[in-house]
């Protein structure tokens, strides 16, 4: 039996049950694919459920505000996915009458849809014979064919794509693409793959050579940067605080946070602090209390954030502004915030230290 048929056969016996496998509706498939980019099924599943429930059609998603979309996306990370998702929904709803593009080539033009996602949607929804090459596929192919070209090099990307095209099952693109990914996720896992019971064991090059654990090869990892975040959590006499939206490029674009003083080292600069106070606070009668003495270390892929929250208690009210919004404590949960802030907010308001 040839490679693709073996995979499909394995898939039919071992595939997991997932809600997006019960439909070929391009809106739902597109949603699932964007959500699952660099995201495990277990983590993405609840988000898929909430998005399809909250926004049953692409028109519902298009008519939402970006803030609503970000709020529903909160906690999933890579927030540009949410912004691109919303932009594409508006485009499809308003310019394409709600009809998604139906070919790989046209799907590729959508914001947030790259080679992988265009292939996935085109094959699953429209049976177009275009191969998906995700992390699972890189692993399966590099092992089965014993290829040690780095999968994140330009050469590797084109090499594996070419190979994937030749292996593609042209009769059942939808089944084949999902089969090879599911096979990589469940059988040909990164660590401790089940080679002993593998249906491809007879012809797996890496298994023959004994270098399964060293494949696939991936180029160097980047160094993590350390950043020092000091958040000012204002607490006014009338139960209000200040939130501001992150703009420009960088992490958490579009999400909200407390006024931030970022420094080169731990601690707040007095001059900067006074500067901020003059804008936000009417009175100079305030009290700054570190929420905790210890730093909270929040780890992102390539940044470690050493964070401290300062509670700033006032016997007066606050000055809101265009970019520094006054927010009542009871409304704070409606704003999209990074998990780092979400964790703090939950702990702080639960303890009722306000």
Instruction: Enumerate the active-site residues.
Output: 33
Phi–psi pair at 71, nearest 5 degrees: -65, -40
Q: Does 36 bind DNA (CB under 7 A)?
A: yes
User: Contact with DNA (CB under 7 A): which of 14, 38, 239, 274?
Assistant: 38
> Exposed (0-12), middle (13-18) or buried (19+): which is 49, by Cβ within 10 Å?
exposed
Compute the least distance from the CB of residue 244 to DNA, in Å: 16
Q: Does 153 bind DNA (CB under 7 A)?
A: yes
- Site size with DNA, rule: CB under 7 A: 65
User: Contact with DNA (CB under 7 A): which of 92, 129, 185, 345?
Assistant: 185
Per CB under 7 A, the segment of 117-125, 257-265, 266-274, 320-328 that binds DNA is: 117-125
Would you say 122 and 128 are in contact if contact means Cβ atoms under 8 Å apart?
yes
Per CB under 7 A, the segment of 30-38, 193-201, 284-292, 313-321 that binds DNA is: 30-38
Q: Does 40 bind DNA (CB under 7 A)?
A: yes
Compute the least distance from the CB of residue 240 to DNA, in Å: 24
Per CB under 7 A, the segment of 51-59, 93-101, 129-137, 278-286 that binds DNA is: 129-137
What is d(CA 326, CA 282) in angstroms, rounded to the nearest whole number?
Answer: 13
Compute the least distance from the CB of residue 106 to DNA, in Å: 14
- In the bound state with DNA, the residue whose beta carbon lies nearer, of 116 and 349, is 116
Q: Which residue has the tokens 């016996």?
A: 13
Q: Does 41 bind DNA (CB under 7 A)?
A: yes
Compute the least distance from the CB of residue 140 to DNA, in Å: 9
Q: Does 339 bind DNA (CB under 7 A)?
A: yes
Would you say 45 and 27 are in contact if contact means Cβ atoms under 8 Å apart?
no
Compute the least distance from the CB of residue 135 to DNA, in Å: 3
Q: Does 193 bind DNA (CB under 7 A)?
A: no
Q: Does 340 bind DNA (CB under 7 A)?
A: yes
Compute the least distance from the CB of residue 110 to DNA, in Å: 7
Q: Does 79 bind DNA (CB under 7 A)?
A: yes
Q: Does 33 bind DNA (CB under 7 A)?
A: yes
Q: Does 128 bind DNA (CB under 7 A)?
A: no
Nearby residues of 301 by Cβ (< 8 Å), 6 or more positions away: none
Residues 213-272 interacting with DNA (rule: CB under 7 A): 216, 218-219, 221-222, 249-253
- In the bound state with DNA, the residue whose beta carbon lies nearer, of 50 and 319, is 50
Compute the least distance from the CB of residue 279 to DNA, in Å: 26
In this structure, what token pair is assigned to residue 79? 């927030």
Q: Which residues bind DNA (CB under 7 A)?
A: 18, 20-21, 32-33, 36-43, 75-80, 84, 110-118, 120, 134-136, 138-139, 152-155, 178, 181-182, 184-185, 190-192, 216, 218-219, 221-222, 249-253, 298, 300-303, 338-340
């Amino acid at each position: 039996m040839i490679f693709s048929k073996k995979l499909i056969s394995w898939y039919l016996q071992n595939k997991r049950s997932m809600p997006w496998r019960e439909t070929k509706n391009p809106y739902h498939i597109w949603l699932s694919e964007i959500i699952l980019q660099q995201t495990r099924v277990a983590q993405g599943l609840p988000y898929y459920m909430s998005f399809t429930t909250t926004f049953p059609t692409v028109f519902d998603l298009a008519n939402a505000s970006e803030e609503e979309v970000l709020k529903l996306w909160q906690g999933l990370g890579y927030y540009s996915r949410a912004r691109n998702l919303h932009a594409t929904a508006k485009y499809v709803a308003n310019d394409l009458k709600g009809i998604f593009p139906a070919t790989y080539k046209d799907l590729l033009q959508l914001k947030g849809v790259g080679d992988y996602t265009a292939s996935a949607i085109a094959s699953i929804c429209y049976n177009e014979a275009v191969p998906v090459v995700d992390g699972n596929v890189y692993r399966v192919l590099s092992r089965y064919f014993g290829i040690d070209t780095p999968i994140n090099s330009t050469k590797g990307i084109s090499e594996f794509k070419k190979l994937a095209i030749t292996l593609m099952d042209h009769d059942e693109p939808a089944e084949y693409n999902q089969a090879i990914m599911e096979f990589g996720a469940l059988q040909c896992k990164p660590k401790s793959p089940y080679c002993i019971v593998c249906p491809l064991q007879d012809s797996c090059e890496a298994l023959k050579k004994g270098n399964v654990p060293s494949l696939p090869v991936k180029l160097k990892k980047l160094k993590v940067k350390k950043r020092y975040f000091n958040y000012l959590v204002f607490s006014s006499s009338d139960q209000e605080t200040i939130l501001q939206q992150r703009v420009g490029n960088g992490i958490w674009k579009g999400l909200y946070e407390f006024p931030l003083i970022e420094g080169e080292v731990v601690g707040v600069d007095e001059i900067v602090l006074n500067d901020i106070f003059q804008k936000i606070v009417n009175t100079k009668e305030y009290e700054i209390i570190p929420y905790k003495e210890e730093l909270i270390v929040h780890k992102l892929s390539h940044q470690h954030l050493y964070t401290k929250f300062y509670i700033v208690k006032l016997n007066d009210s606050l000055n809101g502004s265009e970019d520094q919004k006054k927010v009542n404590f009871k409304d704070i949960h409606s704003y999209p915030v990074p998990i780092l802030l979400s964790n703090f907010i939950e702990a702080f308001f639960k303890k009722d230290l306000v």
